[in-house]
């Protein structure tokens, strides 16, 4: 009789324990673990072309241990999410969005929260909603509701992206219609050259102003009160841009790792000559992102080289190709320093080869830029590609707005040194013969 009572108590305790686990861990995770014994794939969608798909294996204790640590936060997020969904069904969208944003801050990798947020914002921003559905599926590929929502939105989002790329392409074609000797366009190109160097250095913390950057490049004179390092950063970017415009734009064949090393060699040549053009031999840390170790980096770079020379890359739109090449390189982070500047130059190399002007990512956009790179690390690189597309369109708009009907036949009034710099920085340069390339090299050599 006694053993029967013991058995009943044991069964009741077991049921209570199972109920507790299902509540805290989440029913979908238990089912997923039972089916596959593997935690959802966390490999970034953008990196599927770099590395083979990987799965992290967890046992039940690992899952429980991780969730018990965040037990209170997860429970709070779940309660708030349910309240937000109720408000949404009652028609109070603003409060629902605010509550779900709070949920995201509490539990940023909760697929239910991401899916719920996507559903609430979908009527006003289908692209952002689709992004949240995609992240939910990266975290938990078996999330049926997120999959259904994403399938519903996919065609509309693709149509919007295609419309944006077509609009940008039409502006590029409009820019190519402007005569190459147009004075206003030449002034815009020269100013863009200075601004490109100013902003890309500014993103990395350089404190030189635009006028100081322009003065250093035009006069070769130092600016008082500023460090030698900051001056040398300007000179390094100037040298790297000239190398791209003189040599790489017209060089036949795909971009390769040697080209990237040569760009980096010039970027860091004046500031860190011992590290310039060399891969790092130690582990680095970039915020929340931990790049591959020096030992693993070799296979990442090999895969990156294969991607650069693959047929698949030719099927991409130039803006997609440029943004992805930037992201892949900065993800690998192969250098001790200068990874961001080199990645942005690589991005512009792809754009310039396709007939686009070099894109300027302004230093004021630094935090959005970093945030979108982090979002790409989470599993959806499309927001970063759209950011590059917006910067491309902004750059095209600046060029087009600088040219008016009155200026179409005006004479150039640029300084002699400015004209020489401009000839080195010609995003529409189609020179292919050895004679033309030698002429450009000779002129640019006088400025270095």
Query: Which among 251, 234, 247, 250 is positioned nearest to 193, based on CA atoms?
Result: 234
Q: Encode burial over 146-174: b for 16+ CB neighbours within 10 A, e otherwise.
A: bbebbeebeeebeeebeebbeebbebbee
CA distances from 178 to 1, 226, 404 (A): 98, 39, 10
Cβ atoms of 349 and 287 closer than 8 Å: no
Give 3-state DSSP helix, strand, coil % of the chain, rounded to 5: 70, 0, 30
Q: Tell me, what DSSP letter sits at residue 334?
A: -
Coil, helix or strand at residue 289: strand
Question: What is the spatial distance between Cα 275 and Cα 131, in angstroms, rounded to a whole number?
Answer: 38
Please give the annotated binding residues, written as ranges.
286-289, 337-344, 369-370, 377
Cβ atoms of 84 and 102 closer than 8 Å: no
Please give the annotated binding residues for ATP, written as ranges.
286-289, 337-344, 369-370, 377
Q: Encode burial over 368-395: b for 16+ CB neighbours within 10 A, e otherwise.
A: ebeebbebbbbbbbbbbbbbbbebbbeb
Query: Which among 89, 149, 110 is positioned nearest to 25, based on CA atoms?
Result: 110
**Placement of tokens 């080199």 in the chain:** 342
Residues 6+ apart with CB under 8 A from 387: 323, 368, 369, 372
**Catalytic residue (choose from 231, 259, 333, 438):** 333
Question: What is the spatial distance between Cα 366 and Cα 374, in angstroms, rounded to a whole number?
Answer: 12
438 is an active site residue: no
Residues 6+ apart with CB under 8 A from 154: 130
Maximum Cα–Cα distance across the chain: 108
What residues are labeled active site? 333
């Amino acid at each position: 009789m006694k053993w029967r009572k013991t058995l009943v108590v044991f069964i009741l305790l077991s049921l209570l324990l199972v109920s507790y686990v299902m509540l805290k861990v989440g029913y979908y995770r238990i089912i997923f673990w039972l089916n596959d014994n593997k935690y959802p794939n966390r490999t970034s969608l953008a990196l599927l072309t770099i590395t083979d798909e990987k799965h992290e294996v967890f046992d039940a204790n690992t899952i429980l241990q991780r969730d018990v640590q965040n037990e209170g936060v997860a429970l709070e997020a779940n309660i708030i999410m349910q309240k937000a969904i109720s408000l949404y069904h009652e028609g109070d969208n603003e409060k629902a969005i605010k509550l779900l944003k709070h949920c995201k801050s509490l539990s940023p990798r909760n697929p239910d929260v991401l899916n719920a947020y996507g559903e609430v914002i979908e009527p006003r921003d289908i692209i952002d909603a689709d992004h949240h559905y995609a992240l939910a599926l990266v975290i938990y590929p078996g999330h049926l509701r997120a999959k259904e929502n994403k399938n519903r939105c996919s065609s509309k989002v693709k149509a919007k992206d295609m419309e944006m790329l077509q609009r940008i392409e039409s502006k590029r074609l409009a820019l190519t219609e402007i005569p190459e000797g147009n004075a206003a366009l030449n002034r815009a190109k020269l100013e863009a050259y200075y601004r490109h160097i100013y902003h890309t250095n500014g993103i990395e913390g350089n404190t030189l102003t635009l006028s100081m950057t322009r003065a250093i490049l035009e006069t070769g004179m130092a600016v008082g009160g500023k460090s030698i390092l900051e001056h040398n950063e300007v000179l390094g970017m100037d040298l790297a841009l000239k190398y791209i415009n003189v040599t790489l734009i017209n060089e036949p064949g795909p971009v390769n790792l040697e080209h990237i090393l040569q760009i980096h060699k010039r970027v860091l040549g004046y500031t860190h000559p011992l590290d310039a053009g060399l891969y790092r031999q130690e582990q680095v840390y970039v915020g929340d992102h931990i790049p591959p170790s020096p030992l693993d980096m070799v296979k990442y770079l090999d895969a990156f080289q294969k991607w650069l020379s693959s047929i698949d890359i030719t099927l991409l739109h130039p803006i997609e190709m440029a943004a992805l090449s930037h992201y892949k390189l900065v993800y690998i982070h192969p250098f001790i320093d200068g990874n961001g500047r080199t990645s942005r130059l690589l991005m512009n190399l792809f754009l310039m080869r396709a007939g686009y002007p070099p894109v300027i990512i302004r230093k004021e956009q630094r935090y959005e830029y970093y945030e979108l790179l982090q979002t790409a690390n989470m599993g959806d690189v499309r927001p970063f590609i759209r950011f590059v597309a917006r910067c491309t369109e902004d750059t095209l708009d600046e060029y087009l707005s600088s040219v008016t009907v009155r200026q179409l036949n005006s004479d150039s009034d640029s300084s002699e040194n400015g004209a020489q710099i401009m000839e080195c920085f010609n995003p529409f340069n189609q020179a292919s013969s050895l004679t033309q390339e030698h002429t450009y090299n000779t002129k640019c050599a006088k400025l270095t």
